Amino acid sequence: MDAPTYPPAAAYEPPAAAPYELTVATASLAELMSAPAAWAIVLKHAPMYKMVVSAPHTKPYLTNFTVDSFVTYGVINQKTIDAIDADLRQLPRSQWPAL
């Protein structure tokens, strides 16, 4: 069996990264905690996260968990997530976590 031949590409467009948007779905808890202004926004709307991040069983996962990871467990609801995201959008880029 012969290998298939493919015509050369007519044009190449290099991939471009999509612009990053700081949201509770794109930043881990550890990243949000590393930026005091961002973490203050999270705690303003959902103060229970102070307890969540200090629990021994969640500490190993802070780099993987996001705020919205806890919707499934009833820790936070979509209305609160929307409020946090709205405030994060207002945060100057200089106060974002170092990603």
Please report, for residues 8, 59, 90, the alpha-carbon distance to residue 62 in angstroms, rounded to integers and kept in the order given: 46, 6, 24
pLDDT at 4: 87
pLDDT at 79: 95
Strand partners, 28: 66
Q: What is the pTM of this model?
A: 0.79
**Over the stretch 7-49, which tens digit does the pLDDT of each residue have?**
887 888 888 888 888 999 999 999 999 999 999 999 999 999 9
Confidence of residue 99 (pLDDT cuts 50, 70, 90): low
What is the three-class DSSP state of 83?
Answer: helix
